[in-house]
Amino acid sequence: MQQRNITNVMSSRPASDGAGVKINRLSGFGSRLNMDPFLMLDEIRSDNEDEYRAGFPPHPHRGFETVTYMRAGGFSHRDSMGNEGSINAGGAQWMTAGSGVIHSEMPLPGDSPMMHGFQFWLNLPAAEKMGPPSYRDIQGGDMVEFRQDDAQIRLVAGVMAGHEGVVTGKTTRALLADVSIPAGGKVELKYDDELSSQFYVYEGSVRVGETLVKIGQLASLGGGDALQLVAGEQAGLLLFGGLPINEPVAHHGPFVMNTAAEIEQAIRDYQRGTLVKHPARSL
């Protein structure tokens, strides 16, 4: 058994997206941290409704997948394929943009103003970028949950320690797990050694070997088939990874393709109203 070690650590930075929603962003676009096949990670965390109420009105995507996971609060989804869905704490939404989709993501009113969630951008290989779009949501009660050593794990996607999540990426074999560790707790997480992986700490801090990773930081991991984590205080983290695509990435706004020419085509298609190639509806 080979233990995974930390190769890099970086901190999130404040940003805004959608209609002015305040977020913490960790992006692989042009950064020193390569998250292939993941492209970007955004965190929404606020108990001030003014910071997220406006949400993400209708906007386009092409060439990748979005994975949204909520820990507090909820979001609704509508798209040009005619899909509608909503999730609350513990739930996830998985949308494959493929050849093109227009969708909106809006916060749901709740008993508490607290909103805490994440959205990942997951790349698609060139052969799948222009495939048909799709959408599904996974409610919190349908998630696979289990204990491993001292940790409680919610497996959003992929395979870990003999457990299989409800959904996974297509050829990327994406893994996404929410891991909670009590103060002083330890856990060894076992998953496919072919996957690249990283984790983001959203509560407390954890140690891997001699390296401490604090709240708001993302750690990139080297190769191996096991990851040992030790929590000082109560800790929570998202572990995610997948099979690297190892293809060129061209990115502009909501589009992710392989070449600049493909990005320009996506922009033209959107401007001409031909981005959506499947039955559309008004959002």
Mean pLDDT of 47-69: 96
User: Which band of pLDDT confidence, cut at 50, 70 and 90, is reported for residue 278?
Assistant: low
User: Which band of pLDDT confidence, cut at 50, 70 and 90, is reported for residue 170?
Assistant: confident
Q: What is the pLDDT of residue 282?
A: 45
Q: What is the pLDDT of residue 36?
A: 95
Tell me the average pLDDT of the chain.
93
Mean pLDDT of 45-66: 96
User: Would you list the domain boundaries of the chain?
Assistant: 6-272
User: Which band of pLDDT confidence, cut at 50, 70 and 90, is reported for residue 29?
Assistant: confident
Q: What is the pLDDT of residue 211?
A: 96
Mean pLDDT of 259-268: 98
Reported as a single tens digit per residue, the pLDDT across 210-255 is: 999 999 999 999 999 999 999 989 999 999 999 999 999 999 999 9
- If you write DSSP's letter for every residue of the chain in order, what string do you get? --B--EEEEEE-EEEEETTTEEEEEEE-TTSS---TTEEEEEEEEES-GGGTTT-EEEEEEBSEEEEEEEEES-EEEEETTS-EEEE-TT-EEEEE-TT-EEEEEEEPP-SS--EEEEEEEEE--GGGTTS--EEEEE-GGGSEEEEETTEEEEEEESEETTEE-SB--STT--EEEEEEE-TT-EEEEE--TTSEEEEEEEESEEEETTEEEETTEEEEE-S-SEEEEEESSSEEEEEEEE-------EEETTEEESSHHHHHHHHHHHHHT-S--S-----
Mean pLDDT of 10-37: 87
pLDDT at 283 over 50: no
Reported as a single tens digit per residue, the pLDDT across 180-217 is: 999 999 999 999 999 999 999 999 999 999 999 999 99
Percent with pLDDT over 90 in the chain: 89
Mean pLDDT of 133-149: 95
CATH hierarchy code of domain 6-272: 2.60.120.10
This prediction's pTM:
0.95
